[in-house]
Structure 1
Amino acid sequence: MNAKSIIGAACAALAITTAIPAAAHDPGDVVTPHFERAIPNIPGKTLTALIVDYPPGGASIPHRHADSSFIFAYVLSGEIESKVNDGPTQIYRAGESWHEPPASNHLVSRNVSKTKPARLLAVFVADSDEKELTTPIK
């Protein structure tokens, strides 16, 4: 199965997944748990996939990722502006991706468009006993 097929399957599965608001997001943003599974050949690690839906003009509040979490982010639709740690602020379009090292501060994460929604797939590899994958920066 190629990457495009995997992304298509992830989007199709959204119809049967319950959406929940995320603590590090504005009330209008929705984070949908999509997949979570312990990694059998890496004891103590779990892979978690989430879909983040940003409404037009929607943004996450600045947040910190868990100390053990490595993140792969892939823009499914729209354009998302992101700034991680002291890296540059960048705009990623549908089909583009980036990664975030463990314990990252995600200072900017927002939908660039004021008129169209945007959607992001976030895949975390983290310690299985992590309680929170993201926490707001105070």
Structure 2
Amino acid sequence: MTIRSLIGATAATLAIATAIPAAAHDLGETVTPHFEKAIPNIPGKKLSTLIVDYAPGGASLPHNHAKSAFIFAYVLSGEIESKVNDGPTQTYRAGESWYEPPASAHLVSRNASRTKPAKLLAVIVADSDEKELTTTIKQD
């Protein structure tokens, strides 16, 4: 099984799963948690997945990720612009992915299109006792 078919199967499974109520934000994003489970062979770690839906022109506020959170992001549809830490702003299209190391600053995360929606799957491995996976960066 390839990573693409695995992600496709995971996305299809998530799409038919009973969703936890989504959190809407003012900038045109909706975050829907789908799965969280302790990793049985890695004590003290959990795996979480969520879907981020971006309306046309939608964006996430700049945020920090938890010190223990390793994140794999996969674009399900549309195009997403992302900037992590001091890296360049990059555009990822459906079927493309990136990762974010623990304690990253996610400075740009937005739909690259002003006319079409975009959707992202985030897979997160973090400490089991980690309560906040993201914290908004205060803008002065």
- State TM-score, norm by structure 1: 0.91
Map of 1:37 onto structure 2: 37
Runs of 4+ off more than 6 Å: none
Helix, strand or coil at the partner of 2:26: coil
1:28 offset after TM fit, Å? 3.1
Alignment of 1:53-132 (within 5 A): 53-132=53-132
Map of 2:20 onto structure 1: 18
Task: State yes or no: 1:51 paired with 2:48.
Answer: no
Helix, strand or coil at the partner of 1:113: coil
1:27 offset after TM fit, Å? 5.4
Structure 1 residues not aligned, in runs of 5+? none
* Preserved CA contact (<8 Å) 1:29 1:53: yes
Structure 2 residues not aligned, in runs of 5+? none
1:82 offset after TM fit, Å? 0.3
Q: CA RMSD in A?
A: 1.6
Task: Give the Cα separation in 1 of the matches to 2:21 and 2:11.
Answer: 13
Cα deviation code 1:37-92 (max 9, x no counterpart): 11111100001011100000000000000000000000010000000000011000
Give the length in aligned residue pairs: 136
Task: Give the Cα separation in 1 of the matches to 2:99 and 2:70.
Answer: 8
- State TM-score, norm by structure 2: 0.89
1:36 offset after TM fit, Å? 1.0
* Preserved CA contact (<8 Å) 1:82 1:108: yes
Deviates more, 1:13-22 or 1:110-119: 13-22
